[in-house]
Structure 1
Amino acid sequence: MSATTKKLKSELSEELDYILNYWSINTLDYKNGGFIGQIDYDENHLDKAEKGSVLHARILWTFSAAYQETKNENNKEIAKRAFEFLYANFYDTEFGGLFWSINADTTPKDTKNQIYALAFAIYGLSEYYAISQNAVALTLAKNLYSQIQKHSYDPINKGYLEAFTREWEPIEDLRLSDKDANEKKTMNTHLHIVEAYANLYKVWKDKNLQTVIIELLATIEAHFINTETGHLRLFFDENWIEKPDVISYGHDIEAAWLLLQCAQISEDKILIENYTKYAIQMAEVTQKGLDTDGGLWYEYDSEKDELVAEKHWWVQAEALIGFYNAYQLTNDEKYLNLVLANWNFIKKYILDTKNGEWFWGINRDYSLIEKDKAGFWKCPYHNSRACLELIQRINS
């Protein structure tokens, strides 16, 4: 370990503690249970905000994964709180799905089955099982996996459909958010299904699950990875007809390392070889989205030849891992230098050194993007995972 990487590891260990402390101190909802639905840009706690299943599932994963690294009992307690609340309030005991959101008082709000949310629940539940050996958590993860396979999997064309009603009927609005195309198959959901399934396989060595992961990685390779450009294709209909969209630098660099990790967990040698190649290719082309200050831009609209000139927190977090992964694979110092430059950018512009946590991001003129500090999409998952991944990778 060089002096440079030793310093980086030390700073990331410290930052991980800051992130966990912020969520432990600021987000616990003592009135209704679980975690507060929203803390806005000005640190106002919006006690009546709806609570998202993705937020709670990501908190569950974060504190479970952090406990494995830190062995801090408080992290295990926070993970337990997240598990118990998710199980009691988001899991649909009648139809076997997961509510997208609930009201602050824990009554159901949006009861659709968004497969993305089910995947994150599996991701968090399997990580929690790893630290707790809680049989209910593993059973719940298996149940959600079965529901995805039963209702979302497309046996004819392969891949997974986006969303359903509570009763598992077709639904008109399939989108994760307003900015997404209303299409039946998306890169984002497939990425997080395979992430979830791979994490489940780590604690449940089921041969059928392994086969499903291998097929899913092959499907992603066939449709979502543009092997010519190295970028991801984002939206398709059910017959794999592409609906062209932006280049998402954040998803490119996230997929670069995450899909290789899933391939390694699957133990399929051909997939490992292929995704090693893609990891390097995607890290290489993502450099087009880097600014001179070390930050990674959000998206590029090639049709309009227009940059979405924002630098979001999660994009920077994934850049840390993706470029460090490329450094590990190639031993090329340029990738380590990109990591260091990106971390310096994060320290200078993204970390909230006054209140804790990370700002949503900055605009082209370096003004802050005035969006949530905690909320439906602002979770501790990306930044804590970046810290954890690099701490562990620098060790190896």
Structure 2
Amino acid sequence: MNEQAYASLYANTLLQDVIPFWMQHSGDASYGGYLTCLDRKGKTFDTDKFIWLQCRQVWCFSMLYNRVEQKQEWLDFALQGAEFLKKFGRDAQGNWYFSLTREGKPLVQPYNIFSDCFAAMAFGQLSQATQDKAHSEIAIHTYHNILKRQENPKGSYNKAFPGTRPLQSFALPMIMCNLILEMEHLLAPEEVDRIIQHGSRTVMDTFYQPDSGQILENVNEDGSFSDTFEGRLLNPGHALEAMWFIIDLAARTSDQPLIRKAVDISLNTLEYSWDRRYGGIFYFMDIKGHPPQALEWDQKLWWVHMETLISLLKGFLQTGDQRCWQWFEKVHDYCWTHFADPEYGEWYGYLNRRGEVLIPQKGGKWKGCFHVPRGLYQCWQTLDSIAEKSSTVTPQ
């Protein structure tokens, strides 16, 4: 297929398959918000509500309304989740819980700052759609709360003994590189620039290991390597997702060296983490080749592969590196062969190493309406840009 044919496939899958699946099956007409624990056919098998999945779905439908088409049903669906979150999502200090009962009673304390990150994303995107001051105020308050908690994100819920082996985690600076663009319309330009500069440096210098060409998931407080389970951990999906965030940031200022570095890291990560026996990208790896601590290390997960597709296409758009396009077609074929479910819609989330469906559910505690629709949208838009760019190139 050429770029335009791929673009049509991604657009049609988003708008005629994935979004209808979530609109049909996930809305909770009785209590508000969304039911995300859905089996293969979309039937609810558990009614607990996980805050970051609620937030991600608000973001998704707000984004579609803002960037694709101002469909009232999309905005109404986003508002359904936002109203539930406004009523039940936070504790008295404004921290976002991890999970709630179907009715909205707190289940799990706000130990995880990523609930806050996705809440800021959700209400930031929603505020663009509604121009409602209440939505922008929630986004801004949550953003500042993230900044206050970023040095110790889990606070009193941190299990680690203080001072023995303090580590920096890649996850928060990575997500801040994306969150800041979602919040840009609500923040002062100097604040946006500060976060972009700090996030880019942290991701590309502190956690990047030049000798191996890999991104580490955890490093010592001074940025040095920790020869431990946590320090040797590679999360290829995180690295590949972060690289398209970095490419987007670098493209704002036409920083070609930074774009090139992000593309090279993407390709290095893929070369290292691709399963040469069965295909697909390993979930976790150990940078020294030791057995990873997580027993699910060799599973193939939906979000890892979707984020990879985005990174490869953005890399190809910005650099024209043919390796990006070759890898894109390889990963695309794997995804459409193994993750897509043409019979009942959406994607499977979890495959075993051989690429067989491990869990047929379409949503759960970790998988919701986010990575697949966001990825399909990003790939569609980037493929359109690639096609447009190639049509304007004058033959030599």
Equivalent residue number for residue 167 of structure 1: none
Distance 2:112 2:220 in 1: 16
- Structure 1 residues without counterparts, runs of 5 or longer: 153-159, 165-169, 175-181
Structure 2 vs 1, CA of residues 200 and 280 (structure 1 numbering), >3 Å: closer, same or farther? same
CA distance in 1, matches of 2:349, 2:359: 7
Residue 256 (str. 1) matches residue 243 (str. 2): yes
In structure 1, give the amino acid aligned to 2:135: A
**By how many angstroms is 1:132 displaced?**
2.0
For 1:194-343, what aligned pairs fall within 5 Å after superposition? Answer: 194-236=177-219, 238=221, 240=223, 242=226, 243-264=230-251, 267=253, 272-288=255-271, 289-291=273-275, 295-305=280-290, 308-343=297-332
Aligned counterparts of 2:321 and 2:191: Cα–Cα separation in 1: 38
Report deviation, 1:304. 4.3
Q: Which residue matches 2:109?
A: 111
Q: Tell me the distance in 2 between the aligned counterparts of 1:222 and 1:342.
A: 27
Aligned to 1:192: 175
Q: CA deviation at 1:394?
A: 2.3
Q: CA deviation at 1:195?
A: 1.4
| Matched letter for residue 270 of structure 2 | Q
Q: Which residue of 2 aligns with 1:65?
A: 63
Alpha-carbon distance in 1 for matches of 2:166, 2:135: 31
Q: Quote the offset at 1:53 in angstroms.
A: 0.9
Deviates more, 1:246-255 or 1:68-77: 68-77
Is this contact kept in 2: 1:120–1:192, CA < 8 A? no
Distance 1:138 1:113 in 2: 24
Instruction: Please give the secondary structure, in 1, of the residue aligned with 2:341.
Output: coil
Once the 2 structures are TM-superposed, how far is the Cα of residue 229 of structure 1 from its aligned partner?
A: 2.4
**Worse-superposed segment, 34-43 or 5-14:** 34-43
Task: Give the letter aligned to residue 74 of structure 2.
Answer: N
Q: 2:122 aligns with which of 124, 128, 132?
A: 124
Corresponding residue number in structure 2 for 1:35 = 34
- Aligned residues: percent identity? 20
Structure 1 211/258 Cα, relative in aligned 2: closer, same or farther at 3 Å?
same
TM-score (structure 2 length as normaliser) = 0.85
Indicate the SS of the match to 1:253: helix
1:177 corresponds to:
none
Give the Cα–Cα distance (whole angstroms) in 2 for the partners of residues 332 and 7 of structure 1.
20
Within a 5 Å distance, the mapping from 1:157-176 to structure 2 comes to: 160-164=151-155, 170-173=156-159
Match of 1:157 in 2: none
String of CA shifts for 1:81-118, please: whole Å, max 9, x gaps.
Answer: 122222221133x2121111111221111122421221
Deviates more, 1:94-103 or 1:239-248: 239-248
* Aligned alpha-carbon RMSD (Å): 2.5
Confirm or deny: 8 A CA contact 2:247 2:314 kept in the other structure: no
Aligned positions of 1:134-145 closer than 5 A: 134-145=132-143
Q: CA deviation at 1:193?
A: 2.5
Shift of 1:327: 1.0
Matched, 1:89 2:80: no
Q: Which runs of 5+ in 2 are unaligned?
A: 386-396
Mapped to 1, the partners of 2:234 and 2:70 lie a distance apart of 39
1:320, distance to aligned residue in structure 2 (A) = 0.8
Q: What displacement does 1:371 show?
A: 6.0
Q: What's the CA shift for 1:239?
A: 5.3
- Which secondary structure state, in structure 2, belongs to the residue aligned with residue 19 of structure 1? helix
- CA separation in 2, counterparts of 1:85 and 1:31? 11
User: Which residue does the alignment assign to 1:179?
Assistant: none
Give aligned pairs, total: 369
> Residues 228 and 137 of structure 1: is their aligned pair in 2 closer, same or farther, counting only changes over 3 Å?
farther
2:392: which partner in 1? none
2:375 is matched with: 386
What is the deviation of 1:294?
A: 6.0
Q: Give the conservation status (yes or no) of the 8 Å contact 2:176–2:195.
A: no
